[in-house]
Structure 1
Amino acid sequence: MPFPPAHMLAGAGFAEVALAGMRNPPSRRRALLAGAVMGALADVDIILGMLTGKGWTLHGTATHSIAAVVVWAAIGMAVGGWRWGVVLGAGYSSHLLLDLLDDSGPTNLMLGWPFTGQHPYSLGKLFPKVPIDGDGLVETVMNIFTPGPGLLFLQQTALAAAFAALLFLLARVLRRARARRAA
């Protein structure tokens, strides 16, 4: 499972690609921020589980599904129009993609929730799994500052930064292609 910085970088990259396909896109700064927030938002189930005393049992359920992507895209559309629906949906869906590319075997995703509780297997082993130890949120977070997990955390974040850079490059190519077609 990639950690929030990796998810936020990918979410911003997905938002950038979404903007590149739009005429009259929303504010780029706001869209990138929204994409980054949406990229990490699915993991709110960890915090909710810890606050309610259920630990990690809520992680990878409703918030890690295609239904959640649709809900957030609909919220974006209702609040800011179809362009914001696309940005929020793209940012949120980036979370699911990164979780499908982690080094875990069975993932923490329930893509078909509420219709099925099955967890798909990773499509690849791109993002290293950072071991999570600790009884509470603070202990778990502090674990990434130890040498072994810390190095894996940095690798994960660097890979996500490279992935986001590729997405920004793709968006640039898409913008130039559209400008050539318009000319």
Structure 2
Amino acid sequence: MSERNPGFSTRAIHAGQEPDALTGAVVPPIHQVSTYKQDGVGGLRGGYEYSRSANPTRTALEECLAALEGGSRGFAFASGLAAEDTLLRAVTTPGSHAVIPNDAYGGTYRLFAKVTHPWGLDYSPTDLGDLDAVRAAIRPETSVVWIETPTNPLLSIADVAAIAEPGARRGRGRRR
């Protein structure tokens, strides 16, 4: 985008959507191929090898999301659970701890119980509507307080700002 500090609406419409050099199309096409021609072993052409690892359509979406959020990079995943797993492995390590909703989405709960827990991430299901319970569940090794609001299927509501405060206060000055 040529504008130096474009507004949200401009970023939402234009970020990640540079005109196609070959055709001049101003909206990126949907790339549905499964593999891309490579210039030798490990010689990716334009950064693409297989559409599940990256493709121009996803790159455009990720650039747009990063621009909208004011980030340097955005990531798109094929499923919410793939995003959750990636995030958890980025912010936790074996031996660390997470506080999760006691009525978390079933897929999220199974991710903690059957994937990350055997990997070494301990977790405590907690009523996120009870701030005292959240404070009590936070340990020195807590790396993340996982918030889902409203929850699925019970539609419990968590006060994100109130939960973030004890987590932020507890985590100040900590280094992983």
Bin for the TM-score computed over the shorter chain: under 0.3
Q: Quick check: which one's strand share is greater? A: 2
| TM-score of the aligned structures, taking structure 1 as reference length | 0.26
Instruction: Choose between structure 1 and 2 for higher RCO, CA contacts under 8 A separated by at least 6 residues.
Output: 1
| TM-score of the aligned structures, taking structure 2 as reference length | 0.27
Q: Quick check: which one's helix share is greater? A: 1
